[in-house]
Amino acid sequence: MKKRILSLFFVLVFSFARADEGMWLVYLLGEQVYNDMVKRGLKLSKEQLYSINKVSIKDAIIIFNGGCTGEIVSPEGLIFTNHHCGYDAIASASSVEHNYLRDGFYAKSKTEEIPAKGMFVQFLVRIDDVTAQVDEALKGLTGMESATKLRAVSAEIVKKATDGTGYEARLVPMFKGNQHLLFVYERFRDIRLVGAPAESVGKFGGDTDNWEWPRHTGDFSVFRVYMSKEGKAAEYSADNVPLKPKYFLPVSIKGFNDGDYAMIYGYPGSTNRYETSFGVKLKTNVENPAIVNLRDIRLKLMFEEMRKDPAVRLRLASNYASVANYWKFFDGEAKQLLKFDTYGQKKKEEEKFNTWAKGKPEYENIFKQYEKIYQDWAPYTKHRIYLNEGIFGSPLIAFSASLGAMERALTKKPINADELQKVSESLDKARKTFLESSNHASDQKIVAATSHYFHRDIDPSQHPTGFYGIVSAYGDLNDEATYKKYAADLFSKTMLLDDTKWSAFLAKPDSTTLQKDMAYQYSSTFSKNYATKYASYATNFTLQNNDLGKAYLKGVIAMNPGKVMYPDANFTMRTSFGNVKSYHPRDAVFYDYVCTLSGVMEKYKPGDYEFDLPANLIEAYNKKDFGQYKDAKLNDIVVAFITTNDITGGNSGSPVLNAKGELIGLAFDGNYEALSHKIAFDKDLNRTICVDVRYVLWCIDKLGGAKNIIQELTLK
Ligand code: ARG
């Protein structure tokens, strides 16, 4: 079984050194790709990269809290990841009095480490190729039948692989479902915050510099993973001991040059390199502008309140940062796709495919069908985005939507008391979490703005029946003020924001009270409208798009015998290789491969919310107190550098390794000029932005005074 797949995808290859494109599954690294790595400078054996039986680099790489990458850097389970990956944990550990987010934090001994409630990390235990079993089960099925069957076999395979082991597993389709791999993980839940720089270092440059080079951000944070005394993964306990890892990464403080080999391990979240021209067009014309438009207004309204009050700022910081991050991404992505004419390039590839497919019944109609499914779905695309990013972009309304479970439990006949009890408890908990991280003033404005935008921008035939009739009682529907009055009324009346009314409701829940609640009415009007009239279009589109994607990829593989291919990113462990490398972003402009602490000082704006600096950094800089972290050539601290590696979101926190497998930095961003990278990798402009590990150590040592952390590392 494995062999068939191997011969299909990985063995017949051309022998030329490719560009830096590719997020390779280390587990299936073909000879050819490995040889390319060696040609580019790698000094390690294949076994050192990944081995089933022996300790290898892969044993030091972890999934950090379900969305980022981290790496083990000491024999006592010390973890390095990005500041923006630890952000939520740092913000949660902070208060206005002990503001670790603003001021930074370093534990000087293990007893000072702060348990990061709810956080977890996962180690990859093994990978099984289960393609044959899945193919057998799905034989002849398409659409919903295939999706349903896949869920069933997946559950079966996962169960068989993990029962009684304490492990967990995820079945992942590769090459759009032409291959299926099972990833088995061990999850550790006792994670503690060990160190973080002040936000003015860890997020230096803020959203202005986000997704851009040159970048002067110290985007790192330090955690530790604990295990039970018996050496098992365990919940938090004061008795737990630091994890003894199978492997940890040595750290190089020797530095590097332009052109040096660089390799990145990590968990890239998603790419869609075989997106069709139809998909690209919908993205650039409809999806991204809609998302950007809605995030724009939400950010503005949140910021208005954050500006007024440090407590609100802390409360909204994490949510604001994540909304802002992809607001800029989607904007840049659409711009770059248009600039590169990715649509035109896709069209050309598709014409080539269609020519090849002529007379092959399995493939010749794929693009006609694509055209049809996009035609059917396009009229509702914007509606769905305005729901997710608009109406439910309000934290209150998003929470309110979760009360749907309560309505279902209350309208069931007969009512199941156990179920009702469970739903009540979980909603009460969810409400606490919602209240802890929300701000009513900004939220109310968000409800006003997004209900207005929905009315203004979505085809009236798709508006929820009757809803805007209700709002018109507050005034003219084309007037912003009307929606403000409506939202004010909703916020003052809903029981969801009123502890007394909420407790009374939970003590004796009934469907009439729920259905009459203004916030619930609002959220359920919009979600029911979508669910009953439009969700089926989305489902049909997704199912058919999946089937077509699978067929298309199968065709692409058949059309290019021998071509070495990598599967799209899907949050499984990958490695990518390339070089440290300067570039020309546009005519007459040259971007160096490193930036320095002197450059941080050039950007410094006292009191600015993005470009301020901690006093001790300025002091250490003025004293040239660089210690062993100084770059000899530059006589400065190197803060960040760029490489040609192919990565994407999810890789945040990934180790950047030199040819010997030593840690030289942490990947934390992509560059603006190549923000179309999810769909098309640009071989000239794509860069990965990395914080230099020497800057990380300098901050820990000289600014944080945490020699205890430095002593745990193995410095080369
Ligand atoms: N762009 C980075 C990423 O997606 C996140 C940077 C966070 N910083 C910020 N200013 N939002 O990994």
Residue 713 has pLDDT above 80, yes or no: yes
Picking from 70, 254, 74, the residue whose alpha carbon sits closest to that of residue 714 is 74
Q: How far is the CA of 206 from the centre of ligand 1 (A)?
A: 8
Q: d(Cα 239, Cα 247) in Å, to the nearest integer?
A: 23
Q: Return the pLDDT at 256.
A: 97
Beta bridge pairs of residue 651: none
The mean pLDDT value for 608-632 works out to 97
Q: Which two tokens stand for residue 346?
A: 């896709």
Q: How far is the CA of 121 from the centre of ligand 1 (A)?
A: 20
In tens, the pLDDT along 541-562 reads 999 999 999 999 999 999 999 8
Could you tell me if the CB of 649 is within 6 A of ligand 1?
A: yes
The mean pLDDT value for 248-257 works out to 98
The mean pLDDT value for 610-617 works out to 97
Could you tell me if the CB of 84 is within 6 A of ligand 1?
A: yes
Atom of ligand 1 nearest to the CA of 210: 10
Residue of 199, 325, 642 best suited for mutating to test ligand 1, as the one with most atoms within 8 Å of CB? 325
User: CB 392: neighbour CB atoms within 10 A?
Assistant: 19
Atom of ligand 1 nearest to the CA of 652: 12
Could you tell me if the CB of 210 is within 6 A of ligand 1?
A: yes
- Residues annotated as catalytic (active site), given as ranges: 84, 219, 652
Could you tell me if the CB of 325 is within 6 A of ligand 1?
A: yes
Residue of 68, 81, 84 best suited for mutating to test ligand 1, as the one with most atoms within 8 Å of CB? 84
Residue 510 backbone dihedrals phi, psi, to 5 degrees: -145, 150
In tens, the pLDDT along 686-699 reads 999 999 999 999 99
Q: Return the pLDDT at 268.
A: 98
Using CA atoms in the order 186, 189, 190, 196, what is the torsion angle rounded to 10 degrees? 100
In tens, the pLDDT along 315-362 reads 998 899 989 999 999 999 999 999 999 999 999 999 999 999 999 999
In tens, the pLDDT along 29-48 reads 889 999 999 999 999 999 99
Q: How far is the CA of 637 from the centre of ligand 1 (A)?
A: 22
The mean pLDDT value for 114-128 works out to 96
Atom of ligand 1 nearest to the CA of 670: 1
Q: d(Cα 608, Cα 273) in Å, to the nearest integer?
A: 39
Q: How far is the CA of 617 from the centre of ligand 1 (A)?
A: 22
Atom of ligand 1 nearest to the CA of 206: 10
Q: Return the pLDDT at 574.
A: 98
Q: Return the pLDDT at 27.
A: 87
Q: d(Cα 393, Cα 377) in Å, to the nearest integer?
A: 22
Q: Which two tokens stand for residue 229?
A: 């005394």
Atom of ligand 1 nearest to the CA of 211: 1
* Residue in the structure block whose two tokens are 């403000």: 484
Q: Return the pLDDT at 180.
A: 98
Q: Which two tokens stand for residue 107?
A: 């534990």
Q: Return the pLDDT at 18.
A: 57
The DSSP bridge pattern shows strands 78-81 and 221-227 to be: antiparallel
Residues 6+ apart with CB under 8 A from 664: 252, 255, 256, 262, 656, 657, 658, 690, 692, 693
Q: d(Cα 511, Cα 591) in Å, to the nearest integer?
A: 62
Q: d(Cα 215, Cα 342) in Å, to the nearest integer?
A: 27
The mean pLDDT value for 220-228 works out to 98
Picking from 497, 503, 458, 493, the residue whose alpha carbon sits closest to that of residue 477 is 458
The mean pLDDT value for 199-221 works out to 97
Picking from 101, 84, 179, the residue whose alpha carbon sits closest to that of residue 138 is 179
Q: d(Cα 359, Cα 224) in Å, to the nearest integer?
A: 59
322 Cα distance to chain centroid: 9
Could you tell me if the CB of 207 is within 6 A of ligand 1?
A: yes
Q: How far is the CA of 211 from the centre of ligand 1 (A)?
A: 7
Q: Return the pLDDT at 78.
A: 98
In tens, the pLDDT along 227-243 reads 999 999 999 999 999 99
Q: How far is the CA of 669 from the centre of ligand 1 (A)?
A: 6
Could you tell me if the CB of 203 is within 6 A of ligand 1?
A: yes
Picking from 197, 103, 110, the residue whose alpha carbon sits closest to that of residue 700 is 197
In tens, the pLDDT along 406-460 reads 999 999 989 999 999 999 999 999 999 999 989 999 999 999 999 999 999 999 9
Could you tell me if the CB of 669 is within 6 A of ligand 1?
A: yes
Closest C-alpha residue for ligand 1 atom 2:
669
Buried b (16+ CB within 10 A) or exposed e, 247-268: bbbebbbebbeeebbbbbbbbb
Could you tell me if the CB of 211 is within 6 A of ligand 1?
A: yes
Closest C-alpha residue for ligand 1 atom 8:
210
Q: How far is the CA of 219 from the centre of ligand 1 (A)?
A: 9
Q: Return the pLDDT at 686.
A: 97
Q: Which two tokens stand for residue 623?
A: 């004293």
Could you tell me if the CB of 694 is within 6 A of ligand 1?
A: no
Q: Which long-range contacts (CB under 8 A, 24 or more apart) does 376-381 make?
A: 376/537, 376/540, 376/541, 377/537, 377/538, 377/540, 377/541, 378/282, 378/286, 379/459, 380/462, 380/534, 380/537, 380/538, 381/282, 381/286, 381/287
Could you tell me if the CB of 206 is within 6 A of ligand 1?
A: yes
**DSSP state letters, 72-99:** E-STT-EEEE-HHHHHHHHHHH--SSS-
Q: Return the pLDDT at 52.
A: 86
Q: d(Cα 418, Cα 667) in Å, to the nearest integer?
A: 48
Could you tell me if the CB of 315 is within 6 A of ligand 1?
A: no
Could you tell me if the CB of 283 is within 6 A of ligand 1?
A: no
Q: How far is the CA of 209 from the centre of ligand 1 (A)?
A: 9
Residues 6+ apart with CB under 8 A from 209: 215, 216, 217, 610
Q: Are 665 and 656 in contact (CB under 8 A)?
A: yes
Q: How far is the CA of 327 from the centre of ligand 1 (A)?
A: 11
User: CB 111: neighbour CB atoms within 10 A?
Assistant: 7
**DSSP state letters, 432-471:** HHHHHT--HHHHHHHHHHHHHHHHHHS-GGGSPTTHHHHH
Could you tell me if the CB of 652 is within 6 A of ligand 1?
A: yes
Picking from 587, 599, 611, 681, the residue whose alpha carbon sits closest to that of residue 641 is 599
Instruction: Tell me how far apart the 2 most distant CA atoms of the chain are, in Å.
Output: 77
* Residue in the structure block whose two tokens are 């003052």: 492
The model carries a pTM of 0.92
Side-chain-side CA neighbours of 31 within 13 Å: the count stands at 7
Q: d(Cα 263, Cα 283) in Å, to the nearest integer?
A: 31
Average pLDDT, the chain: 95
Closest C-alpha residue for ligand 1 atom 6:
210
Q: Return the pLDDT at 644.
A: 98
Q: Which two tokens stand for residue 223?
A: 């955690």
Beta bridge pairs of residue 192: 115, 224
In tens, the pLDDT along 482-534 reads 999 999 999 999 999 999 999 999 999 999 999 999 999 999 999 999 999 99
Closest C-alpha residue for ligand 1 atom 3:
669
User: For helices 480-493 and 518-533, what crossing angle results, to 10°?
Assistant: 110
Q: Return the pLDDT at 4.
A: 41
Residue 19 has pLDDT above 90, yes or no: no
Q: Return the pLDDT at 14.
A: 38
**DSSP state letters, 627-683:** GGG-BTTTTB-EEEEEE-----TT-TT-EEE-TTS-EEEEEEEE-GGGGGGGT---T
Q: How far is the CA of 486 from the centre of ligand 1 (A)?
A: 35
Strand ranges (DSSP E) for 516-628?
A: 574-579, 594-596
Residue of 200, 302, 668, 675 best suited for mutating to test ligand 1, as the one with most atoms within 8 Å of CB? 668
Picking from 177, 48, 58, the residue whose alpha carbon sits closest to that of residue 126 is 58
Could you tell me if the CB of 324 is within 6 A of ligand 1?
A: yes
- pLDDT-above-70 percentage for the chain: 97
Q: For residue 405, give Cα distances in angstroms to 316, 329, 422, 512, 558.
A: 27, 34, 10, 15, 47
Q: Which two tokens stand for residue 371?
A: 């055209």
In tens, the pLDDT along 150-197 reads 999 999 999 999 999 999 999 999 999 999 999 999 999 999 999 999
